[in-house]
Structure 1
Amino acid sequence: MERRAARARRAASAFASTAFIFTIGIWSAGASAATAVMPDGAALGAHWTIPFAGILLSIALFPLIAPGFWHRHFGKVACAWAIAFLAPFAYAFGLGAAAHAFSHAIVAEYIPFIVLLTALYTIAGGICVRGNLHGSPRVNTALLALGTALASIMGTTGAAMLLIRPLLRANDNRKHVVHVFVFFIFLVANVGGSLSPLGDPPLFLGFLNGVSFFWTTRHLALPMLFVCTLLLVLFYALDTHFYRRGDEERAAALDPSPDSIGIAIEGKRNFALLALVIALVLMSGLWKPGVVFDVLGAHLELQNLVRDAALVVLALVSLAVTPRTARTGNAFSWAPIEEVAKLFAAIFVTIAPVVMMLRAGERGAFAAVLHLVTDAHGQPIDAMYFWATGMLSSFLDNAPTYLVFFNLMGGDAHMLMSTGATTLAAISAGAVFMGANSYIGNAPNFMVKAIAESRGVRMPSFFGYLGWAGAVLIPVFALTTWLFF
């Protein structure tokens, strides 16, 4: 009983700071969030980006200069940056406007995001692959290729959570393993999710806005296959180099994971739950009852509420039906999702003025960014859309970034899928591919990092990871631009 109580307390702590911010929002939303008039993004100066820059710099620098403090207090730091935006915003534009900005960020965007992420994390974390794979270059490349293929079917989060632990066990006897998990983030947590709306949140938002389900499959298949093939070839060459440099002898001498005959899967019921998650996501995009609720000034559609409530139920069912030995075998803990929940709550709140300014177009503080994506005749430059969407997606959340450029092109899905198809493909590819450029570009990136570190892997720092992305991904994306955009 004590173990179950402790596990419940750890699960509850994953949402503790979010709940605190949410309580503040409910209190302030009572001051007319529903009727508040939001300021025009053109009226916001660049100084409103300071809280967002602050949370990004905190994520980047604190683990380097004060790791102990960050480990104990990252939730408090995240909450402080959220308040650093909300308090001045309330003073400048009124309590109602601040409450409306908060409710839209948390109720309309963050809660659906973290509910889906937590459901996938919980369910995939209940599937334990037994058997000791040996992390040779061939085995590692095969696992990365499998995860890349699964990412468009079960989402980047689901695929990453399913395979990260088997990959960790396969490589627990090797010294040089950081590159394995860096490329895992590149492929499984990002690029692999580019073939369907189930793969990555930006494509799901496009689906909700009228882009047909298989449009991305047809238009991103070649760029995705090119990028993934090139990355897998680079990975195999790099992994072979490290393996021959000493890991082969180390692997033969000591393997902490005992050998077993064959591969066995425990917690198979979770595969059925994953299928239900996919069905719920599809349902929310196809079923349009036209019922909308006003929750603290945010407009929530019935199908999305049903989806999110059902996802919570599925996560609870997974906890109830999964054998304890499966989660023990995975070394399952709530710490990675707790870190994502707390940090992304602040990111979703502090990003609000940045998105407002982007949506203001040429009248906003980021007009220079928008000037880059059109030529002298006002026609879109596909290559610039790819890079502008990608660079912003690297440091902003890639879902709202996708929507900004989607709307910049008119927001008419039928037009974009026909006459604007090449530009929409560039926007889609930029949002999904370049989410791999930083740890905060896509939520699974942070989760993979946290899980790997919890198992003793010394993952690169924020800037160290940027170095990997700059050395590997940027040249690949430059070649992709030349060939496809």
Structure 2
Amino acid sequence: MYKYLVLFVLLSCGLQGYAGNVRANEESISEEIVSIEAPVVENLSDDAHHHAPGWSVIPFALLLIMIATGPLFYEHFWHKNYPIVACVLAVMVISYYLFVLHNTHAPVHAMAEYVQFIALLSGLFIASGGIMIEVDKEAKPMTNVIILLIGALISNVIGTTGASMLLIRPFIRLNKNRIKPYHIIFFIFMVSNIGGSLTPIGDPPLFLGFLKGVPFFWTLKYNIIPWVFACLALAAVFYFTDKKNKSDYSFGESSHTPSNSVTFVGTKNFLWLAIIVGAVFLDPNVLEWVPAIHYDGQKFSFLREIIMLSSGYLSYKFANKEALQWNEFNFEPIREVAFIFIGIFGTMMPALELVGNFAQSETGAAMITHNTLYWGTGLLSGFLDNAPTYINFLTAALASQGGSINEMADVVGFSNGEFSNSILSLKAISIAAVFFGSMTYIGNGPNFMVKSIAEQVGIKMPSFFGYIIRFSIPILLPLFVLVWLIFFFWGWL
């Protein structure tokens, strides 16, 4: 497997050395950082896109280290000061871009992407907080497996964030007498990440591919077998793990006999969820009539974000108070996510730029195969935002075949197999971007939010490194190797 990790090794270990040669290769290297939901604009002036040096990734690395070590070694300081730390590091990098590199393009894109990100997460978090789902069953392993599989399926309808926010509280309540960290971890694996692989609504990278020209049902057609394989494999591992949990399956009330019923309170909030999910499609780059902010030749949405935030506010204002109380709803989880990801979006610009430039360089393009695309996209998606990572590798894959990410006809042709090995390459990028988002707490937006909700109700979650060492490496990594071997290396299915 080593030779298929070479792309990741070069990207992660050789970025700084490569960055020194970026300016010398400006004629052959694309000078763009692709935004989450706006098309790349060509022929921009060189002054708008001065490149960041390799050392500028230090604030991003420092933030990741503090996210990993703060709750473990200096918990009081971290919980009190993480908003300040995240904002200061973000301001440092943004200021360097604005006042030293004179690059306004990247910070504006990062700001727009953050607003889109937090508007969607906030809307879904608040609206789902007003829906109480009570599962009156014994918390047996098979019951939990069924909930996780249903959650994985629902993720493709209301997104991984929507499904996570809707189901995490009832999942915790169902297992309240026997809840362990592994319950939450497998929920993150299956509902918050891998579940959303079948539609563009499921996860941001797939939606971004849809906006660029990948047909809506392409992911369902080509991702469904790996999705079934991964979900069933994780369900099996969870079942046998949960079976070893000898805690009481019952509710701890001798007089109570479970009715095996499922009760919904606050169902009117499903309407607000539907409005928020529907607003996702109001993209001014696809629908000409949608109003937009025009900057640097590009269109940035604002109507969509207003609808999402307004729906979240109204869903809370008119929510069923009993549902909010039963869910122990408060704004701390979304507050934590908002501040942490200010830091991530603000500091990861140099890392994304260096990765994107390398992937599109002559050296990087020469290494493009469906195998390197799988591991490169995947391993970086666990630590960088998986949506721009998806686009950077799709751009490189298209460029290596003479296509352009800015030509919808090329993207459609790439999706339809009109380029050499293009379907397998796109499948590798799509599967890896979504699956590997589960490798860390910051790999996908819902991960950190689910962790925060679990900690709010008293569940002691593993640290950043504990998550990776105890769960990602022994459980996910072997699964992802099997997915690669079966669907890409051997190509059996």
TM-score normalised by the shorter chain: which range applies?
Answer: 0.7 to 0.9
Matches for 1:53-92 after TM superposition, within 5 Å: 53-92=61-100
SS for the counterpart of 1:186 is helix
Task: State TM-score, norm by structure 2.
Answer: 0.82
For the pair 1:93 / 2:101, whether they are aligned, the reply is: yes
Q: Where does structure 1 lack aligned partners over 5 or more consecutive residues?
A: 1-33
Task: State TM-score, norm by structure 1.
Answer: 0.83
Inter-partner Cα distance in structure 2 for 1:447 and 1:346: 16
Change beyond 3 A, Cα 1:36–1:482 = closer
For the pair 1:471 / 2:469, whether they are aligned, the reply is: no
Question: Which residue matches 2:440?
Answer: 438
Question: Which of 366, 375, 382 is the matching residue for 1:387?
Answer: 375
1:321 Cα deviation from its structure 2 partner: 2.1
SS for the counterpart of 1:294 is strand
1:177 Cα deviation from its structure 2 partner: 1.4
User: Contact 2:53–2:350 (CA<8 Å) still a contact in 1?
Assistant: no
Inter-partner Cα distance in structure 1 for 2:251 and 2:346: 50
SS for the counterpart of 2:47 is coil
Question: Which of 204, 207, 210 is the matching residue for 1:204?
Answer: 207
Inter-partner Cα distance in structure 1 for 2:167 and 2:130: 12
1:305 Cα deviation from its structure 2 partner: 2.3
Inter-partner Cα distance in structure 2 for 1:463 and 1:216: 32
Inter-partner Cα distance in structure 1 for 2:265 and 2:106: 44
Question: Which residue matches 2:293?
Answer: 293
Inter-partner Cα distance in structure 1 for 2:290 and 2:336: 35
Question: Which of 151, 167, 174 is the matching residue for 2:171?
Answer: 167
Amino acid in the other structure paired with 1:326: A
User: Greater helix share, 1 or 2?
Assistant: 1
Inter-partner Cα distance in structure 2 for 1:70 and 1:169: 28
Question: Which of 51, 68, 76 is the matching residue for 2:59?
Answer: 51
Inter-partner Cα distance in structure 2 for 1:331 and 1:257: 25
For the pair 1:274 / 2:279, whether they are aligned, the reply is: no
- Aligned-pair identity (%): 36
User: Contact 1:133–1:169 (CA<8 Å) still a contact in 2?
Assistant: no
SS for the counterpart of 2:382 is helix
Question: Which residue matches 2:143?
Answer: 139
Amino acid in the other structure paired with 2:124: L
For the pair 1:111 / 2:121, whether they are aligned, the reply is: no
Question: Which residue matches 2:252?
Answer: 254
Inter-partner Cα distance in structure 1 for 2:195 and 2:445: 14
For the pair 1:405 / 2:393, whether they are aligned, the reply is: yes
Question: Which of 184, 187, 195 is the matching residue for 2:190?
Answer: 187
Question: Which residue matches 1:9?
Answer: none
For the pair 1:329 / 2:334, whether they are aligned, the reply is: no
Which segments of structure 1 move beyond 4 Å, counting only runs of 4 or more? 255-261
SS for the counterpart of 2:302 is helix
Aligned residue pairs total 428
User: Contact 1:438–1:465 (CA<8 Å) still a contact in 2?
Assistant: yes
Inter-partner Cα distance in structure 2 for 1:337 and 1:104: 22
Question: Which residue matches 2:159?
Answer: 155
Amino acid in the other structure paired with 1:76: I
Change beyond 3 A, Cα 1:67–1:192 = same
Inter-partner Cα distance in structure 2 for 1:145 and 1:182: 14
1:153 Cα deviation from its structure 2 partner: 0.7
Q: Where does structure 2 lack aligned partners over 5 or more consecutive residues?
A: 1-43, 399-404, 489-493
Inter-partner Cα distance in structure 2 for 1:286 and 1:257: 58
Inter-partner Cα distance in structure 1 for 2:210 and 2:251: 51
Inter-partner Cα distance in structure 2 for 1:40 and 1:257: 70
Change beyond 3 A, Cα 1:362–1:431 = closer
User: Contact 2:416–2:423 (CA<8 Å) still a contact in 1?
Assistant: yes
Inter-partner Cα distance in structure 2 for 1:109 and 1:258: 49
Inter-partner Cα distance in structure 1 for 2:281 and 2:62: 36
Inter-partner Cα distance in structure 1 for 2:131 and 2:307: 20
1:152 Cα deviation from its structure 2 partner: 0.7
Inter-partner Cα distance in structure 2 for 1:149 and 1:252: 27
Deviates more, 1:68-77 or 1:81-90: 81-90
1:124 Cα deviation from its structure 2 partner: 1.2
What value does the CA root-mean-square deviation take over the aligned residues?
Answer: 2.4
User: Contact 2:451–2:461 (CA<8 Å) still a contact in 1?
Assistant: yes
For the pair 1:484 / 2:456, whether they are aligned, the reply is: no
Amino acid in the other structure paired with 1:105: A
